[in-house]
Structure 1
């Protein structure tokens, strides 16, 4: 994997976390998320699942980018 692709994947993973943390905070504070009795609405549950899946995928993509950068760095380092 090229350095450019690895860096893109790593930055995409970080960006994904930033965006979805903001989304999760807004979801928690939304009046649509909670029923009058204090229970979670289906709106909240669906969007929470979407957020969790996005965190997992963002993490996987970021780790792939990080590993790609590390592998290129190791390949560029001469063996003793």
Structure 2
């Protein structure tokens, strides 16, 4: 399923840690293999991507979002 998520990047401290986006709607999505540009806590972004139902993670903080493209908010 393809979605667009607007929100703020956060580093969640579970295990080795994982990058996530906390959406404006209150949902948290774990970012699958985030590009280095998205690995900045507090960054406001819009991410277009795909929910990966075929991936399980150790963090289990929410749906896994594979980034197709993104914009950093000005």
Larger radius of gyration: 1
* TM-score > 0.5, shorter chain as reference: no
| Structure with the bigger percentage of strand | 2
| TM-score bin, normalised by smaller chain | under 0.3
TM-score, structure 1 normalization:
0.17
Higher relative contact order (CA 8 A, sep 6+): 1
TM-score, structure 2 normalization:
0.18
| Structure with the bigger percentage of helix | 1
